Structure 1
Amino acid sequence: MLSRREPACACRVCGVSGWSSGCAWVLVAASQLARDKRRPPSRGRGIALGRRARRACLACAPQSPRVVRQRLGCSHPCRRPWSAASATTHGALAGPDERFAVAPMLDVTNHHFRALCRILSKRAVLYTEMIVDNTLIYNQDKPVMMERWLAHDAVQHPIVLQLGGADPDKLAEAARLAAAFRYDAINLNCGCPSPRVAGKGCFGASLMLDAQNVARCCRRMAEATEHTVPVTVKCRIGVDRADETYDFVRDFVRVVHEQGGVRVFAIHARAAWLNGLSPAQNRNIPPLKYEYVSRLADEFPDCTFVLNGGIKSIDDACEVLEKERQRAESQTSTEAGSAASGGRFHGVMLGRAVQNDPWGILSQVDKRLYGDEASGTHLQTREQVVLEYGRYAQRVMDTEPTASLHHVLGPVLDIFHGAPRGRIFRRTVDSAIKDKLNATDALHAALAEIDERVRCASYDEMLVQRQLAGAERSNMSAQPPSSSSKRPRTAPTDVPSATLQIQST
């Protein structure tokens, strides 16, 4: 029982507590209020909390249609007032600007990884892990589970939810449940080659074999959200070797676009070979065909295409987009006055490269791809990123005692990818977790193992350091070995003289 005399509950996300904080909220299951048959208490009155109640301030509260928010006290206007109307009109805005997107990755792009990504880039579009439609449908009466799968912080926008499934009715119900969480778009997975998804699950990449069904799924999802949340598709250029042709992917895009109303396609420029290759092999072995995506952009100029696959660094991303821009401009100039002039793909999507080197890629996205230097993310040092993420991790551990510290700190382990003593940083974090240190102390101990010139260098300074180190290594290899380095072999002084005479004879 909470009363006016007791301290207010602490927000489970940001840790704000106290009645004077201005935005202390309590989340109570709607079914519990129905049993109580009374109105939510006003300021100063107590409220009985169930075992599954969740606490959060207004700025961090997850948006759920089955959760009732009750303001216990507010001394200033709330920053993000929630209402059913705002939940349904949020998606009426245009879809996110996907010049750069972090690809959905199972067991990777969770809440904590997205928190790190947003520290590194304010403009990159973030995707969630794929959530199967049945997961949301079977848990819709469990607010805690819905929060676990769909809740996200306000700072993570722009964010896209990826759904998996093949049944139009189930996907429509899942989209309806997710719409109240105010995602910037909902994406249908038509590209995952995993046997559990495309094989036994009969969705993912195998959906490309039935474009009519994909169009029905997308149309029903848009209708379920009252056309307020953009529905997008992530797919491949083909399925198996027999369908690895441009005509196949062109016909798929045409059907989904014309009959399903989809205008945004994120395309992995490889075919999905479902027989004989693992998901990891499907990311590398099938040949890349960027020209297919370029031809799609020419043939469907009113659609937005995001290129995925084979891009390993921020330099690769800029180079690919620049080549595509030059190609589109040259084609437009040669076809001046012709109605057949096309477009170009809009952006790029990276997955494993961001997972392996988050700072080296995301810290440069705002400046180099969006032309936004005001965010200042390109000037962040790795030490600043680690310390800010450490504060986030500590808030999570303080408000969720059952959370795994290893799971929370997992995304930041590769922040020193390719840097000297980067592996020492990882091992120190692991050792600190085993020694039961808190998140802040664990990261401080790991930072102490990294040279100050490395951890306090911005991205541009890091490039200069690498150039100097490379020049020094090349100079050392070019120098001939000095004569002083070749010392004559001498007999050890502790060997008996008789032994020396035997060796000489």
Structure 2
Amino acid sequence: MYNIAYFCSLFATIMGISSAFSCTLSRCRRPVSTAYISNKKLCMSSTSTTSSSSGTNTISSDNNELYQERSDILRANSKLSLAPMMEYTDRHFRHLVRLVSDRTLLYTEMVAANAIAHEREAALPPSSSSSLLDGASAEELSFDPSYLLRFLGQGHNAEGASVLQLGGSDPDQLFLASKTVYEFNQLAQIHQQQSSSNNNNAPIFCDYTALNLNCGCPSPKVAGKGCFGAALMQDATLVQQLTSSMYHGSQGSIPITVKCRIGTDEGYQFTRDQYNARSDEEEYQSLKQFIETVASEGIVTDFQVHARIAVLGKNYSPADNRKVPPLRYYQVRRLAEEFPELNISLNGGVETLSGVKRELDECQELDGIMVGRGWMSNPWAFAMSDELLYTDGQQLADSTRPKNRIEVLQAYGQHADYEEERWDPVKIRRFITKAASQLFSGEPNAKRYRIALDEIAGLPKKLMKEDPKLMEVNLHYQNLYWMQRQNI
């Protein structure tokens, strides 16, 4: 565990920065805890709770209030959002982004609704047929939540404004997935007292501001074999049904949003020349009809629109679909202008903070800009996003987020400690280090930092292969080795 937090000191040496701050990390230089082996029944905590009973579609007044509260948070933090990216926007990277920005709206990587439904069925107590709440008490859970929390967990701190993206085309599975999120929030209320009094069972958060339906992923595994993602844009009525299932599954307590594209290549064989020759108006009217149909029930009022079509008729990779179809921002801007009652965010091609500001200034009807690759390749480039995009100075003045990258690493080391105390370092460490690998992108010696970080990431697996029983002892001596090697 200490090796993860230790990369802060390691970086300071590599980059030629004073390592005086490293004494603050001394608590982390200890053998890996094995708490993750015995701590299987984790308690949950949440900042928002509801009181409606499980298993009913009746929306209580408390849930209506909670829905409005979350909607307000969604609106207040939508100017810049972190795009959902598979294998990148996991809870570790989202935690890093939150250390850089208090206001960025965080999106999870897409979670398949069928996976949640499957794990939910496996987790349900034998005496229960419908609810995770059955048999729950203030002393213990009646099921092991760790498997579901692999998909839904938020780490050891509340993430603030955040959105869970779901993927699927089955209304029943999406209902169950949304219901699971709702029930975790109910469990949080039951276990709140236990969480606050037992430091050994620190809380796992699952408190999302909104749920998002993926109607934009063009991956052949998703939109092809899976028949969801961008393929759903070809059936707006089904999307309406899916979002309705998500709304009722969450008992009307969580806003439902949709991420989509401006269209697909349905009805013709895509080539650049054929696409450029097609009518812009026809494309826009198709997009408009999709939005109107999905929003017709009043459940979905927030859309994140990638300003490219999805090419599904060819074996295009996701990377091809990010590059080959041309960007048409004007289609998304027109949508925002014609539907002022909806909240429209632009996605695609914007990779810098200056680009975000420019797009918002050019079209003030847009409610936000979604950035993915820019955050992934250089997170610190967005360190001034809160100050640049928001004008509520008092809230910004009250911010306690780290002021520089050394402080970010110190805080991230605490997250790493927490994760390795509760999960197997052999399985989780590389994911933890991956999230911080680009924090010093573009700086001198950044490559040396990434190489050293990669070596640290592989230590638990390497030592486990050598001798599982001596892994903790070996890690202790490995720590001394690193200190001697870097002359700390």
**TM-score (norm: length of structure 1):** 0.66
What is the distance in 2 between the residues matched to 1:86 and 1:161? 22
Q: 1:432 matched to which residue of 2?
A: 456
Amino acid at match of 1:364: M
Q: Indicate how the Cα distance of structure 1 residues 126 and 415 shifts in structure 2: closer, same or farther if over 3 A, else same.
A: same
Equivalent of residue 399 in structure 1, options 422, 425, 428:
422
Q: Indicate how the Cα distance of structure 1 residues 433 and 160 shifts in structure 2: closer, same or farther if over 3 A, else same.
A: closer
Q: Indicate how the Cα distance of structure 1 residues 304 and 179 shifts in structure 2: closer, same or farther if over 3 A, else same.
A: same
Q: 2:388 matched to which residue of 1?
A: 368
What is the distance in 1 between the residues matched to 2:251 and 2:298? 14
What is the distance in 2 between the residues matched to 1:83 and 1:212? 30
Deviates more, 1:80-89 or 1:94-103: 80-89
What is the distance in 1 between the residues matched to 2:50 and 2:233? 38
Equivalent of residue 169 in structure 2, options 134, 158, 166:
166
Q: 1:381 matched to which residue of 2?
A: 404
**8 Å contact from structure 1 (residues 237, 292) kept in 2:** yes
Unaligned 5+ residue runs, structure 1? 1-25, 27-49, 64-79, 326-343, 450-505
**8 Å contact from structure 1 (residues 185, 232) kept in 2:** yes
**8 Å contact from structure 1 (residues 91, 185) kept in 2:** no
Alpha-carbon deviations, 1:141-187, whole Å to 9, x = none?
42221122112244202111111111222212221112234321110
Question: Is 1:279 equivalent to 2:255 in the alignment?
Answer: no
Larger Rg computed on CA atoms: 1
Q: 2:41 matched to which residue of 1?
A: 54
Alpha-carbon deviations, 1:459-487, whole Å to 9, x = none?
xxxxxxxxxxxxxxxxxxxxxxxxxxxxx
Equivalent of residue 350 in structure 1, options 348, 354, 371:
371
Q: Indicate how the Cα distance of structure 1 residues 418 and 241 shifts in structure 2: closer, same or farther if over 3 A, else same.
A: farther
Amino acid at match of 2:422: T
**8 Å contact from structure 2 (residues 258, 302) kept in 1:** yes
Amino acid at match of 1:263: T
Cα distance, 1:401 vs structure 2:
3.9
Amino acid at match of 2:370: M
Q: Indicate how the Cα distance of structure 1 residues 81 and 158 shifts in structure 2: closer, same or farther if over 3 A, else same.
A: closer
**8 Å contact from structure 2 (residues 102, 401) kept in 1:** no
Question: Is 1:91 equivalent to 2:112 in the alignment?
Answer: no
What is the distance in 1 between the residues matched to 2:398 and 2:381? 16
Amino acid at match of 2:67: G
**8 Å contact from structure 1 (residues 367, 378) kept in 2:** no
Question: Is 1:179 equivalent to 2:182 in the alignment?
Answer: yes
What is the distance in 2 between the residues matched to 1:196 and 1:260? 31
**8 Å contact from structure 1 (residues 308, 350) kept in 2:** yes
Question: Is 1:100 equivalent to 2:87 in the alignment?
Answer: no
What is the distance in 2 between the residues matched to 1:178 and 1:378? 28
Q: How many aligned residue pairs are there?
A: 360
Amino acid at match of 1:352: R
Question: Is 1:323 equivalent to 2:326 in the alignment?
Answer: no
Equivalent of residue 205 in structure 1, options 224, 227, 230:
230
Q: Indicate how the Cα distance of structure 1 residues 223 and 398 shifts in structure 2: closer, same or farther if over 3 A, else same.
A: closer
Cα distance, 1:251 vs structure 2:
0.7
Q: Indicate how the Cα distance of structure 1 residues 99 and 350 shifts in structure 2: closer, same or farther if over 3 A, else same.
A: same
What is the distance in 1 between the residues matched to 2:290 and 2:440? 41
**8 Å contact from structure 2 (residues 213, 258) kept in 1:** yes
What is the distance in 1 between the residues matched to 2:240 and 2:298? 4
Matched ranges for 1:436-475 at <5 A: none
Unaligned 5+ residue runs, structure 2? 1-34, 55-61, 124-144, 186-206, 269-274, 276-282, 461-474
Identity of aligned residues (%): 34
**8 Å contact from structure 2 (residues 102, 399) kept in 1:** no
What is the distance in 1 between the residues matched to 2:78 and 2:450? 32
Q: Indicate how the Cα distance of structure 1 residues 271 and 414 shifts in structure 2: closer, same or farther if over 3 A, else same.
A: same
What is the distance in 2 between the residues matched to 1:82 and 1:251? 36
**8 Å contact from structure 1 (residues 191, 235) kept in 2:** yes
Amino acid at match of 2:78: E
Amino acid at match of 1:125: L
Alpha-carbon deviations, 1:301-360, whole Å to 9, x = none?
1000011001010011111111113xxxxxxxxxxxxxxxxxx11010011111111111
Q: Indicate how the Cα distance of structure 1 residues 276 and 93 shifts in structure 2: closer, same or farther if over 3 A, else same.
A: same
Amino acid at match of 1:410: K
Q: Indicate how the Cα distance of structure 1 residues 156 and 86 shifts in structure 2: closer, same or farther if over 3 A, else same.
A: farther
Amino acid at match of 2:357: C
Cα distance, 1:82 vs structure 2:
6.1
**TM-score (norm: length of structure 2):** 0.68
Cα distance, 1:217 vs structure 2:
1.2
**8 Å contact from structure 1 (residues 216, 259) kept in 2:** no
Question: Is 1:265 equivalent to 2:285 in the alignment?
Answer: no
The 3-state SS of whatever aligns with 1:214 is helix
Give the structure, 1 or 2, with the largest relative contact order (CA under 8 Å, sep 6 or more).
2
Amino acid at match of 2:386: D
Amino acid at match of 2:439: I
**8 Å contact from structure 2 (residues 430, 458) kept in 1:** no
What is the distance in 2 between the residues matched to 1:312 and 1:191? 18
**8 Å contact from structure 2 (residues 99, 401) kept in 1:** no
**Higher helix proportion:** 2
Cα distance, 1:394 vs structure 2:
2.1
Matched ranges for 1:226-241 at <5 A: 226-240=251-265
Q: Indicate how the Cα distance of structure 1 residues 241 and 397 shifts in structure 2: closer, same or farther if over 3 A, else same.
A: same
Q: Indicate how the Cα distance of structure 1 residues 178 and 297 shifts in structure 2: closer, same or farther if over 3 A, else same.
A: same
The 3-state SS of whatever aligns with 1:189 is strand
Cα distance, 1:106 vs structure 2:
0.9
The 3-state SS of whatever aligns with 1:235 is strand
Question: Is 1:127 equivalent to 2:107 in the alignment?
Answer: yes
Q: Indicate how the Cα distance of structure 1 residues 425 and 229 shifts in structure 2: closer, same or farther if over 3 A, else same.
A: same
